[in-house]
């Protein structure tokens, strides 16, 4: 028996994904077709020679490092830690937590580029290459496929590759959506992660040198 058979029907999924369904802004535009979106993105990835899983994994690794940096800053005062040091961590956390990206207002997202790179005192650096901004939300976004696993569904991210000056935005949940459902979200959704852009930012694909 295929696993797909346990999933809701396409019609049901599309209803949930429309604006005002499972999310106010929607996983899909008002008339977009889920199957068309998935098929088109599949084709894009095939042309680029990259899989959904590769993108999910690369994103997950980066976001995991950021999560660890954040939880270190937010840790309770450690045994032997001076009050000043503890306070400094708190201040550093505040400085780094600029609310970027606001996917509800795309026009508010700074247009970073090689000529306009953000200060490294804001957001989180992963190595020298990746610069990540996290916008945290209260509440969890449910998966339209009714999955129980909903890790990382309460934040959005902006991932900038400082070497090429290009960035991609999306919800933390995209790691799950890509891995389990091969879904980048609809072209009309503010949460969409553009596949080609993600591949460039992450430095994946056949044209990139393997480290």
User: Rounded to the nearest whole angstrom, what is the least distance from the CB of residue 148 to Zn ion in the complex?
Assistant: 9
Which pairing describes strands 155-161 and 166-171: parallel, antiparallel, or unpaired? antiparallel
Near Zn ion by CB under 5 A, which window of 77-85, 103-111, 115-123, 137-145?
A: 137-145
Q: Considering Cα of 63, then 100, then 111, then 89, what sign does the dihedral take? A: negative
Instruction: Return the residue matching tokens 């029907």.
Output: 9
Beta-carbon contacts of 26 under 8 Å, excluding residues fewer than 6 positions away, are 17, 18, 19, 20, 186, 188, 189
Near Zn ion by CB under 5 A, which window of 49-57, 83-91, 122-130, 141-149?
A: 141-149
- 145 part of the interface to Zn ion, by CB under 5 A: yes
User: Rounded to the nearest whole angstrom, what is the least distance from the CB of residue 15 to Zn ion in the complex?
Assistant: 16
User: Rounded to the nearest whole angstrom, what is the least distance from the CB of residue 47 to Zn ion in the complex?
Assistant: 26
- 178 part of the interface to Zn ion, by CB under 5 A: no
CA 22 to CA 91: how far, in whole Å?
35
Contact pick of 143, 199, 201, 202 for Zn ion (by CB under 5 A): 143
Cis peptide before 100 (omega within 30 of 0): no
CA 72 to CA 192: how far, in whole Å?
30
Q: Which is nearer to Zn ion, 17 or 73 (CB)?
A: 17
CB 50 within 8 A of CB 208: no
- 22 part of the interface to Zn ion, by CB under 5 A: no
User: Rounded to the nearest whole angstrom, what is the least distance from the CB of residue 23 to Zn ion in the complex?
Assistant: 14
- 95 part of the interface to Zn ion, by CB under 5 A: no
CA 167 to CA 186: how far, in whole Å?
19
CA 205 to CA 48: how far, in whole Å?
6
CA 65 to CA 90: how far, in whole Å?
19
Q: Which is nearer to Zn ion, 180 or 197 (CB)?
A: 180
User: Rounded to the nearest whole angstrom, what is the least distance from the CB of residue 181 to Zn ion in the complex?
Assistant: 6
Q: Which is nearer to Zn ion, 15 or 180 (CB)?
A: 180
- 147 part of the interface to Zn ion, by CB under 5 A: yes
Residues found near Zn ion in the complex (CB under 5 A): 143, 145, 147, 180
């Amino acid at each position: 028996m295929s696993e797909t058979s346990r999933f809701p029907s396409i019609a049901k999924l599309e209803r949930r994904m429309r604006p005002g369904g499972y999310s106010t802004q929607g996983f899909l535009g008002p008339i977009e077709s889920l199957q068309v979106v998935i098929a088109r993105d599949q084709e894009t990835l095939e042309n680029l020679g990259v899989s959904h899983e590769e993108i999910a994994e690369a994103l997950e690794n980066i976001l995991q490092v950021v999560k660890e940096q954040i939880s270190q800053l937010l840790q309770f005062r450690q045994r032997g830690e001076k009050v000043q040091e503890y306070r400094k961590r708190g201040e550093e956390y505040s400085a780094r937590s600029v609310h970027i990206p606001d996917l509800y207002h795309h026009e508010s997202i700074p247009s970073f580029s090689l000529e306009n790179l953000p200060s490294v005192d804001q957001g989180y650096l992963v190595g020298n290459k990746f610069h990540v901004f996290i916008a945290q939300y209260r509440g969890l976004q449910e998966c339209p496929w009714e999955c129980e696993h909903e890790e990382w569904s309460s934040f959005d991210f902006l991932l900038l590759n400082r070497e090429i000056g290009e960035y991609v935005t999306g919800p933390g949940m995209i790691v799950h959506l890509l891995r389990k459902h091969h879904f980048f979200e609809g072209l009309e959704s503010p949460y969409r992660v553009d596949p080609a852009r993600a591949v460039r930012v992450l430095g994946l694909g056949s044209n990139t040198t393997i480290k």
